Amino acid sequence: MNEAEIIQKLQQGNEQAFRHLVENYQKRVVNTCYGLVQNTEDAEDIAQDVFVEVFRSIGSFRADAKLSTWLYRIAVNRSLNHIRDNKKRKWFQSFEDAVKEKKAGLLHYATENPGTELENLQRANILHEAISSLPENQRTAFTLNKYEELSYKEIAEIMDVSVASVESLIHRAKT
Amino acid sequence: MNCNTLHTKMIFFLEGELPEREMEEIKIHLESCTDCAAFAEEMKKTLAVLETDKTPQLNPFFYTRVKARLEKQAEEKVVTQRIPVFARILQPAIFSVLLLAGIYTGIKIGQPAKINSDQSVYTENEMIPYLNEMEAEAIENFLME
Ligand SMILES: [Zn+2]
């Protein structure tokens, strides 16, 4: 099935086409959400919602856009919304809760990645913190670039900005 | 470039994404500053972690869960679609019944208009919940058939 066929079948409500789409894009969507929210469970939860939204709004999909661009865009928007909601909630959370959560997250990472030593866990934690500290649009550009290895041009399409803006976002993340 | 600036640029230095001039500047700094060299080494290892970090294991139940979510939302949609039917058809119906009842009692009792309206408000408050319940059940049964 090529992209045009998939889209057409999806618009007819074909379940097999939907399954095909989910299986084809699951990894990319989960990965993008993960890069942004930095939490496995949340990433999967958001990714599921992304596909639900895709199925329900495929009728309004414009044929001139790429399916992957559209999927990435929904994934980014939903992840950023999640981060915003989370921030509001975190604001009310006590410091102790935050520490507990961090420890749990680290433990979760340890059980998910058996073979890795504690040193690597600490590194992963440093990295997560560094990424989480980036402003939204930079975090998005960074995630799509580093986690998904997308080109600046692809990132520009997803974020609906110019290539120059993506470059400057990535470059500003450096200063 | 001082050590702090260099630290914030390190991730991009290691990815080879800085302008050539800055790449060169950092290389020279790293040769003379042991602190920054150690930091660079540490960051390099951290970035290597990213490589394993960025491919989360695929959940074999992922599609099943998406499917379940879709079905759940479809069900909820059916339920919420029922409510506007009540609002559109039943509410005006109930109000006209109440209005007629009010006018009727008004005429019957032959009281001044002011007291009459007070009375109809009272009747409305008392009757709406009761009527809503009765009619809602009737429609529900009708839909089930
Ligand atoms: Zn230094």
List the single best residue of B4, B8, B53, B73 to mutate versus A (max A Cβ within 10 A).
Answer: B53
Q: Which residues in B25-96 belong to E strands, given as ranges?
A: none
Cα(B39) to centroid(ligand 1), Å: 9
Q: What pLDDT shows up at residue A51?
A: 96
Judged by CB atoms closer than 8 Å, whether chains meet at A124 and B46 is answered as yes
Encode pLDDT of B39-98 as tens digits. 898 888 877 777 776 666 778 899 999 999 998 888 887 766 655 555 666 666 666 777
Which three-class secondary structure state does DSSP give residue A119? Answer: helix
- Which among A55, A57, A50, A106 is positioned nearest to A81, based on CA atoms? A50
Rounded-to-integer distance, Cα A46 and Cα A49, Å: 5
- Which among A70, A72, A89, A90 is positioned nearest to A36, based on CA atoms? A72
Cα(B3) to centroid(ligand 1), Å: 4
Is the overall model pTM greater than 0.95, yes or no? Answer: no
Looking at the predicted structure, is the pLDDT value of residue A165 above 80?
yes
CB-CB: which of B9, B50, B56 is closest to A174? B9
Tokens coding B41: 């080494």
Chain A partners within 8 Å of B41 (Cβ): none
Looking at the predicted structure, is the pLDDT value of residue B129 above 50?
no
Q: What pLDDT shows up at residue B143?
A: 41
Q: What pLDDT shows up at residue A157?
A: 93
* Ion ligand 1 contact residues with beta carbon within 5 A: B 3, 33, 36
Looking at the predicted structure, is the pLDDT value of residue A166 above 70?
yes
Judged by CB atoms closer than 8 Å, whether chains meet at A26 and B62 is answered as yes
Which is more confidently placed, B77 or A114?
Answer: B77
- Which among A121, A119, A141 is positioned nearest to A131, based on CA atoms? A141
- State the nearest Cα–Cα gap between A134 and chain B, in angstroms: 12
**A47: which residues sit within 8 A by CB, 6+ positions away?**
A26, A29, A30, A33, A75, B62
Cα(B35) to centroid(ligand 1), Å: 6
Type of residue at B45 = K
Chain A partners within 8 Å of B46 (Cβ): 123-124, 126-127
**B69: which residues sit within 8 A by CB, 6+ positions away?**
A48, A49, A52
Cα(A125) to centroid(ligand 1), Å: 23
A107 touches chain B (CB under 8 A): no
* Minimum mean pLDDT range among A65-79, A113-127, A136-150, B13-27: A113-127
Q: Rounded to whole angstroms, what are the CA distances from B38 to A29, A158, B45? A: 35, 37, 11
| Domains by residue range for chain A, with CATH | 1-89 (1.10.1740.10)
Judged by CB atoms closer than 8 Å, whether chains meet at B66 and A51 is answered as yes
Mean pLDDT across the stretch B111-126?
50
Judged by CB atoms closer than 8 Å, whether chains meet at A34 and B54 is answered as yes
Q: What pLDDT shows up at residue B39?
A: 87
- How many beta-carbon pairs under 8 angstroms link A with B? 78
Encode pLDDT of A32-44 as tens digits. 999 898 888 899 9
CB-CB: which of A31, A56, A170 is closest to B17? A170
CB of A19 closer than 8 Å to CB of A35: no
* Minimum mean pLDDT range among A79-88, A144-153, B130-139: B130-139
Question: How many of the other CB atoms lie within 10 Å of CB of A141?
Answer: 28
- Which among A29, A36, A24, A12 is positioned nearest to A69, based on CA atoms? A29
Type of residue at B134 = M
- State the nearest Cα–Cα gap between A88 and chain B, in angstroms: 26
Chain A partners within 8 Å of B75 (Cβ): none
> Above 0.90 for ipTM, yes or no?
no
